[in-house]
Structure formats: structure tokens, C-alpha cells
């Protein structure tokens, strides 16, 4: 679908207009809650300024969306087929709008307290809650696709921590006899590259998820409740990247402070190790079509880096807040998605 055709469809379909606004709102929220994780470490160690880091994140988010979607759109396909809103396309579009509204409410609440909640898991939970509401049963949830989410949760948590620990130990060992001043200068530059890699992989993962929702809304507005395949247009990749960048510029500093400054006091080589570990985990999950949380992956990698130096270097109070929010996201956002769907269906169906 061309951009002109899409705009014409938006004009002729009020519900698609609402769905588009809400989806763009979710992408903006993702920009201020998830995208900052990509640049948290290089900003916290002062390797790059916040303004330049946001510009860099916007560029590499777009490249991640473009390159990975062209090579392998399996993450988007997983999200697209995760739930079944039933055969009534009009009601399905209403439920989709309700899920997007629930995600915005949940994520804004977490952002207000500076907690980097997983936008990916909020998206999955909100969609699932809305599907249960419209089907009045769990038949609207695709169990095989949800299994990928569970694997992704394990991958982003355990592997992120382990690789962060290993990368930090390996980097410290390799440069153990090097001049400290030169090493610090080298890793300050290397961190910028690491932040760019993280932003690229964030676009590769999260960009695909929200484009899938965008395209699902278009299909439902067109009466295609049973569409199972799609083609991602380039204009949608550009729009997704721009709105992510907008969100990062609005509210990213709170998350940068929580993840990159408060949880662990990082030195440049540690920041680079965390970026390297998280990028490798995200690359593996993207190539295998497993939707993982960039927030989980980056924060657990940072925990692993801190633990490699000393467990006491990790602010476990911040970690407890993060884990508590992660645990609450699935049931909390799922229930909110269910209630919002019931409300929207009673008002607009």
C-alpha cells in the first residue's frame, strides 16, 4: 500500500484514523520508554551528549527497521499472528484500538516513575487481553506464538546477564596491561559504536512489532479479518522511526538515568561490554523470529556487567523495582487491555 492510498483510507475510515493515532502514540511511548535503553550507557559515561545520542538513535533505529525487515520480518509476523480478534473486522478494529489505549496508559504510568517497563511485553499483554475480551475465552490467543514470547523472556533475562558478565570479564582481561588513559579514550569512542549497534537492534526488534500492529489495523479497516500475510512499505518504516525518535527526545532522560546511572556506576569499558552483549542477544533473537524485550536485554546485560566487577556494585533497589514492574506487566497490562476492550466494545460496537 502506498502512502497516498493509506491516507485516503484513513479519511474514509474514522476507526482507522483512531487506530492510527493510538498506534503512533504507542510508538512515541516506546521511544521514550524503550529506545533510551539503547543509548543509556554511552550517555551515562559521557561518551556522547544526549542530543547527539538521540539523533544517532533515530538514524540507526530506522536502519534497523529497514535492514532487518528486508532480511527477515519473522518478528513482525509473530506479533501479527499472535492473537485472533474474530471474524468481525469492525469489532476487531475496536478491540485493537482498546489494546493500544491500554498500552499507552500502562507505559506512561511506568515512565512517570522512571521505570523502564518492557513496551514489547505491554504490547503482547494488551493485545492478548483485548483478544480474550472480544472472544470471551482464551481461544483468541495463539499458543504457539506465545511460546516464542516465553522463550524470549528467558533469552533476554538469562542470556543478557550471562553475556554481559562474560563480555565485561573478557574485555577487562584483554586490556589488563594496557595504559588506562588510552583504554578509557578508546572505549569512549567504542561506546558510541556500541550505542549505534543497540539502536540498530532496537529498530530491528521493536520497529517490526509496531509495524505489524499498524498493518493489522489497516487490514481490519479494509474488512480483512483473516489476513495472515503482509508487505511492509518503506514509508511505514520511516514513519515508525521518526515517531520513535520523537518519543526519545521528549522523555528519554528519566530512563537513561535509571538504567545507565542509578542501577550501576559504569566505566566506559563496562558500557561497551553491556552494549555488545545486548546487541548480540537482540541479533540472535531477531534472526530466529523471537520477540524479546530490548529493555530486559539491555538492563540484564548491565546487571551482568556490574556483577562481573562486584555484586555490591549493582544497586539492587533499582533492580527490585525493575523486576517488580516486569512481573506486573503481563497480568497488569493484560487486564487493562481486557477492560479497555470491553469498554470500547460497549461504546462503539
Q: How many CB atoms lie within 10 A of CB 323?
A: 15
What are the pLDDT digits (tens) for 145-171? Answer: 778 777 777 777 788 889 999 998 998
Position 310 in a domain = yes
pLDDT in tens, 296-334: 788 888 888 888 877 676 666 767 776 777 778 888 889
User: Can you tell me the distance from the alpha carbon of 16 to that of 5, in angstroms, rounded to the nearest whole number?
Assistant: 13
Packing angle of the helix pair 208-221, 14-33 (nearest 10 deg): 170
Residue 178 counted as domain residue? yes
Domain total for the chain?
1
Q: What is the average pLDDT value for the chain, to the nearest integer?
A: 80
Q: Residue 45: its pLDDT value, please? A: 73
Q: 148: domain range?
A: 14-343
- Determine what percent of the chain is predicted with pLDDT higher than 70: 85
- How much is the pLDDT for 212? 82
Residue 115 lies in a domain: yes
In a domain, 307, yes or no: yes
- In the prediction, which pLDDT does 335 show? 92
Distance CA 55, CA 345 (A): 40
Phi, psi for residue 264 in degrees, rounded to 5: -145, 135
Q: What is the pLDDT of residues 50-90, one digit of tens each?
A: 778 878 877 887 888 778 777 766 776 777 777 888 778 88
pLDDT band at residue 236 under the 50/70/90 scheme:
confident
The three-class DSSP label of residue 316 is: helix
**Span 191-214, mean pLDDT?**
83
Rounded Cα distance between 305 and 341, Å, is: 41
Q: What per-residue confidence (pLDDT) applies to 246? A: 77
Q: Is residue 40 part of a domain?
A: yes
pTM of the model as a whole = 0.77
The reply to whether 3 falls in a domain is no
Is-contact 124 149, C-beta < 8 A?
yes
**To the nearest whole percent, how much of the chain has pLDDT over 90?**
4
Q: Where are the alpha helices (DSSP H) in 157-203?
A: 160-174, 180-202
Residue 261 pLDDT > 70: no
230: which residues sit within 8 A by CB, 6+ positions away? 76, 80, 212, 215, 219
Q: Does the pLDDT value for residue 28 go beyond 90? A: no
pLDDT, residue 135, reads: 87
Residue length of the chain: 349
- Taking 80 as the threshold, does the pLDDT of residue 114 lie above it? no
Within-domain flag for 348 = no
Give dist(CA 330, CA 305) in Å, integer: 27
Give CA–CA dist 170/346, Å, rounded: 58
Q: Which residue do the cell numbers 493485545 mark? A: 127
Nine-digit cell string for 201: 537492534
Work out the pLDDT band at 337, boundaries 50, 70, 90.
very high
pLDDT of residue 183: 82
**How many Cα neighbours within 13 Å face the side chain of 154?**
5
Burial of 271 from C-beta contacts in 10 A (0-12 / 13-18 / 19+) = buried
5 assigned to some structural domain: no
Amino acid at each position: 500500500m502506498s502512502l497516498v492510498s493509506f491516507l485516503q483510507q484513513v479519511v474514509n475510515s474514522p476507526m482507522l484514523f483512531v487506530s492510527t493515532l493510538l498506534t503512533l502514540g504507542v510508538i512515541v511511548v516506546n521511544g521514550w520508554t524503550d529506545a533510551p535503553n539503547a543509548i543509556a550507557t554511552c550517555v551515562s559515561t559521557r561518551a556522547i551528549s544526549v542530543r547527539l545520542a538521540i539523533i544517532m538513535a533515530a538514524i540507526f533505529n530506522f536502519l534497523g527497521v529497514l535492514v532487518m525487515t528486508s532480511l527477515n520480518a519473522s518478528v513482525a509476523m509473530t506479533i501479527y499472528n499472535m492473537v485472533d480478534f474474530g471474524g468481525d473486522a469492525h469489532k476487531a478494529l475496536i478491540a485493537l484500538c482498546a489494546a493500544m489505549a491500554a498500552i499507552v496508559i500502562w507505559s506512561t504510568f511506568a515512565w512517570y516513575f522512571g521505570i523502564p517497563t518492557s513496551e514489547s511485553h505491554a504490547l503482547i499483554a494488551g493485545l492478548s487481553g483485548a483478544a480474550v475480551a472480544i472472544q470471551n475465552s482464551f481461544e483468541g490467543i495463539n499458543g504457539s506464538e506465545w511460546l516464542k514470547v516465553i522463550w524470549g523472556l528467558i533469552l533476554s533475562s538469562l542470556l543478557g546477564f550471562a553475556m554481559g558478565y562474560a563480555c565485561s570479564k573478557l574485555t577487562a582481561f584483554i586490556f589488563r596491561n594496557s595504559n588506562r588513559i588510552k583504554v578509557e579514550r578508546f572505549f569512549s569512542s567504542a561506546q558510541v559504536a556500541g550505542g549505534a549497534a543497540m539502536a540498530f537492534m532496537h529498530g530491528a526488534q521493536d520497529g517490526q512489532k509496531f509495524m505489524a500492529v499498524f498493518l493489522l489495523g489497516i487490514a481490519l479497516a479494509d474488512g480483512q479479518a483473516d489476513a495472515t500475510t503482509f508487505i511492509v512499505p518503506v514509508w511505514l518504516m520511516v514513519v515508525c522511526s521518526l515517531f520513535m525518535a520523537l518519543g526519545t527526545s521528549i522523555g528519554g532522560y528519566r530512563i537513561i538515568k535509571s538504567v545507565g546511572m542509578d542501577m550501576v556506576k559504569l566505566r566506559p569499558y563496562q558500557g561497551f561490554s553491556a552494549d555488545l552483549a545486548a546487541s548480540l542477544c537482540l541479533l540472535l533473537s531477531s534472526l530466529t523470529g523471537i520477540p524479546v524485550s530490548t529493555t530486559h536485554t539491555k538492563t540484564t546485560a548491565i546487571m551482568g556487567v556490574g556483577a562481573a566487577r562486584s555484586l555490591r556494585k549493582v544497586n539492587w533497589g533499582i533492580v527490585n523495582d525493575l523486576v517488580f514492574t516486569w512481573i506486573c506487566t503481563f497480568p497488569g497490562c493484560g487486564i487493562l487491555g481486557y477492560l479497555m476492550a470491553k469498554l470500547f466494545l460497549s461504546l462503539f460496537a
